Structure 1
Amino acid sequence: MSAQEPTAEDRAPAQVRERHAELSAELDDHSYRYYMGKPVISDAEYDTLMRELEGIEERHPSLVTRDSPTQKVGAPISVDFAPIEHLERMQSLDNAFSAEEFEAWVQRVESEAPIDAYLCELKIDGLAVDLVYENGRLVRAATRGDGRVGEDITLNLRTIEDIPVDLDQSARAAPELLEVRGEVFLPGEAFEELNARLADEGKTPFANPRNGAAGSLRQKDPRITATRPLSMLVHGVGAHTGVEFTHQSHVYGLLREWGLPVSDRYRVLTTRQEVADYIDYYTEHRHEPPYEIDGVVIKVDDVSLQRRLGSTSRAPRWAIAYKYPPEEVTTRLADIRVNVGRTGRVTPYGVMEPVRVAGSEVEFATLHNAQEVARKGVLIGDTVVLRKAGDVIPEILGPVTERRDGSEREFAMPETCPECGTRLGRQKEADVDVRCPNSRDCPGQRRERLFYIASRKALDIEALGYVAATALTQPLEPATPPLRDEGDLFDLTVEDLLPIRSLVLDPDTTEPKRDPESGEPKVVTFFANQKGEPKKTVEKLFEELEQAKEKPLWRVLVALSIRHVGPRAAEDLARHFRSIEAIAEASEEELSAVEGVGPAIVASIREWFDVDWHREIVRKWRAAGVRMEEEGAGGPRLLDNTTVVVTGSLSGFSRDEAKEAIADRGGRVTGSVSKKTGFVVVGDSPGSKYDKAVQAGVPVLDEDGFRVLLEKGPDAAMERRINTD
């Protein structure tokens, strides 16, 4: 659609022109807020406004101008980064929101040219970027910006491990010029860990993974970006010389050959039904990929047909995005309450009128801290926008201020701990969060620490769930809890457990669950049956406690709940120091020398081991037989400075067991293949990591070769590597 002189029949009435101007201004504002990471409406509401504007312009073509939101891509760029003009314009995609709209697009495309095949891929909800390679060397990278000019983020992009600075030319020479388009994102688990770390540091968490990716790429200091676990997948090319592509799938094959990260979930399909089945599959399995998606992109595979079909001023006619229903809804915020975490941080959460979103009914959502409540401008009684994606904790994005009626009220942070009554305060002057300082005796902190010890990222004690953790730390009977603190965990006896009666708490709110009929709080004898005999869960608990004693050192470090010390930092510390004693005695300078350990972690470790009862936990656990040093500590570490990627299913190892076996020998496990990777271990159904290893020339081992690596080291394993020629 392009601007044209109005005819007498086409001239729009004043009321229509006013609505067009109003919509244009509103959409420009929302687009700007979206790209600055501060959206105030959901994607679905934005799409509704855009479709209304498109409808007006279809009826009145004279209103279409170059500045109309329908003719633009993205938003104005930030002034914080130098502008870069893209070699070829980055376009947006038209959307289909139903099977009928998708079918209408197919009919339009196939009426112009016979289509042999479509390429279907997932639409990642991340940040679009543009990379330029000259003779195989990355020379610049930019955000999409307004589609013509983006922001220079070259240094920040280079910190992403997935992105090669130099293309792999071992099998095929790289072209003179190659402009690559892709999506940068934060994987779901990485996003949760990043937000937890930011909140723990008193910083504002990101609203969602998309904003997390954008915020991480817009850091002025690339060293900060380097600490963010960003990933990227490429999905197309722009300008290029020295190479010709016949099909979109041909493009992907060459990009993968040059070492660029390409999704292993795209499919080339020949019939409409196959495309519909692909769409339906990911409608049902939307949260199966490790990143957030908001739909499926369907492209004509044949590049010559793409050229024939052409583009509008903002979108190609040969591709469309099938958008899934939104995972953002609105509901009423009935109250804001607080709970206390394992490190004493007191966190507000919203209590809402129950609403169904992302396939489940939601009543509670996180608000992170009092500053975040104020920043979002949320009042008790507001109608709020709620987001939930998969297993991610529901989050309140902001209020719908237009629906306020004056009855809303501000939230006030309590002055005392809701669990033990201790006066709350900031641990450090610069902290944003308030904390309960009664760390040893606060029943809420004891419960949360014990539950965390049992989590999969720590000692993985399945029988020690939230009900059991509550029973052990704050029973109704007996009056004295069987655990003074977590140091007593491995000294429990069956006799300690049988008399316990406890409330059942909701892990999201720490409030008692109630009987649906009587309304009374639920009370359980979790460990004993009606005859007073041990339940089967008791036997399982003690079996798993014995197994937990053999867990590797890094898991023990995680289980100690030292602030900022998550699995990655714990692995680095365990690999470097090899024993809990060495970590406890290490100076700040020695701790700082460990890769991945920054000043905040160093300070937390020193502060933790300076506390008497913390050191007593370590003493009790050691006396009970908990492993406090790495296997073979003091002896040779066969995999020192060796990075290993494990992909596919191994018959003799679970993924965690393989990871721990590598860490025990001083090695490091990563999730992506690069030129720094020492070995790639492949099991059944290895996926794209095997292909990337072959292309990068990284040694590949089967399970037998992996055992040789663990038993004899890298030199012996090289002799057992798979021939991939």
Structure 2
Amino acid sequence: MADLKNMTSEEAKEVHLTLVDTIRKHDESYYREDDPAIPDAEYDELRKQLLELEARFPELVTPDSPSQSLGVAPAKGFGKVKHKVSMLSLDNAFSNDELREFEGRIRRFLGLGPAEEVAFFAEPKIDGLSASLRYKKGRFIQGATRGDGQVGEDITANLRGVTDLPLEFAGAKAPPPDLFEIRGEVYMSKADFLELNKAQAESGGKIFANPRNAAAGSLRQLDHSITASRKLRFFAYAWGEASSVPGQTQAEVLAAFKNWGFSVNPLSEVCANMEEAIDAYRKIEELRAELDYDIDGVVFKVNRLEWQSRLGFVSRSPRWAIAHKFPAERATTIIEDIEIQVGRTGALTPVARLHPVTVGGVVVSNATLHNEDEIIRKDIRIGDTVVVQRAGDVIPQVVEVNLEKRPKDSAPYEFPTRCPICGSHAVKEVNETTGKEDAVRRCTGGLICRAQAVERLKHFISRNALDIEGLGAKLIESFYQDGLIKTPADIFTLEKRDAEPGNLQRIKNREGFGEKATRNLFDAIDDKREVPLDRFVYALGIRHIGQGNARLLARNYLSFDKLRSSLSDTSDNAGDAYAELLDIDGIGAAVADAVTEFFREDRNQEMLDDLLAEVTVTDFDPPAQDSAVAGKTVVFTGTLELMTRQEMKAKAEGLGAKVSGSISAKTDYLVAGANAGSKLKKAKDLDVTVLNEQEWLDLIGN
């Protein structure tokens, strides 16, 4: 990634978009297909780059970013299970300093003094498949995968075959809770993995790359007898919905799990403070090679459940837990070629094709070079011997060039000034504010560029958008090339056009199709003629609008008609409609500008007219909240003393309230702390209900 300190906001937007697209593709491979295209360490490196970029440019932090969302929707081969309590992922740390900063964030959020100790529960991070197990009065009744964190796959029958998963609580000193949801990791031991692959080779079956893939593939078998034959195991480490919780700390609850008959990792321990937690990490890292199961780091959780409750969650992860991943691994190889990929915004992204090299037991053959300026800054050339690193996220990165081994006939890489897809000029725009050229070179071909049009269509049918079963990226490319699908609306008129008399391109006659496959495709398309508002907004591919921001817009506008009419009326980023958009907490100027520009464009309006003639966008149905402030708009101002502002805001949003940054006639409550200023005066002028901190806490039942 280019130097963050010297990166312009426009450059950051392009790098962010590339990272987001790449991470989403790898999420699909990991969560849906159980066949990650890259090792976890590489995936972690991409995610780390994303977080660093968003820290430097906070306007890029949107609820739809992979930093705020998780996983993919469940596959259709299983029933669906809606998690009563979301199954979230964890933020990552890669150094001791990042762990100390994590502790600092906890202290600031809770308002703790330096003398108060924060104890952590440390446990190995198992490299397996997350599962949630539902028990009623101590009896196992249902099991599910994580899925997208909100909805998972029903794998109840398969989980019954997991070796050390109790079907009934055992050894409990007191009656079990009426309802308790155990969460943990299904994994396969290294010995059982080797035995399975040996048997697979002898029978001509699939050879698994590693124990994690083997465990995930085995657990998601439609034939649960196959799962039962594969010696899967389970470590319990968390819980979801529960009628009661057997303890006041993480350690006490895990002790109850063990008493109930669950396997709890024996290396787990309570650390009195962060320095002890860092020591625990070192001890577990030293034992890593000796363990009969794979781990890729150590998880630290605030031990006190009361503090966990107060800290709460962000959209993707809990504030009270973090995973310290094991360090990156490096290797030396040669750049055999540099290829240019064109994204759906026309950005030209260079990718280094490497002589395959093993990094930490995984073969890598490509690395991202990010943009033209990054190539120039590092003076990267074809034929160079380079050090590559994989750590954390998706694609490996080139760390440095070995100039001593550079070929004598080496020449600087000349970045193309024409699009390799359509031949149009590829230019760098000049930032009007700074006067500097953008780092990203873009194709000017627009709609005539196949890469941009095809990538937009791929996004439209992707898993987190319309999710049309059987209509994947390769089929979109093929249909686009043959003129069958050029716009989103064409997807929904495909069957009608296919049946026209004299049509010589019948889909049933295409390679890989037939009557049944064609019927299945048309049925899958028809199944998506009714689309939830948040998915539809995300599918449109508006710049900066990912899943999180799409959900944010849906929650505030509730219907597409209202969203469209409101944002179509904005003029030069001014007026009440634009101000209302900016009032949404989490929507900054960059996002607001992108959304309003999309709806002001006549070609986009024509596309929407055609598309809405074929599909129905269902209104957003907010989750039911048993709260006095659900659906209300609240503003916080002044110096808050009973809770930090961050904690107040998180609590309000968790109860279904909308937190705004400014006062308007639509504001329901202003919570005013000490030294409240102009917002308090405006609230009184508009007759908005003003509450002090204690009145607000009484209202929400805290």
TM-score by length of 1: 0.45
Higher-RCO chain (CA-CA 8 Å, sequence separation at least 6): 2
* Higher Cα Rg, which structure: 1
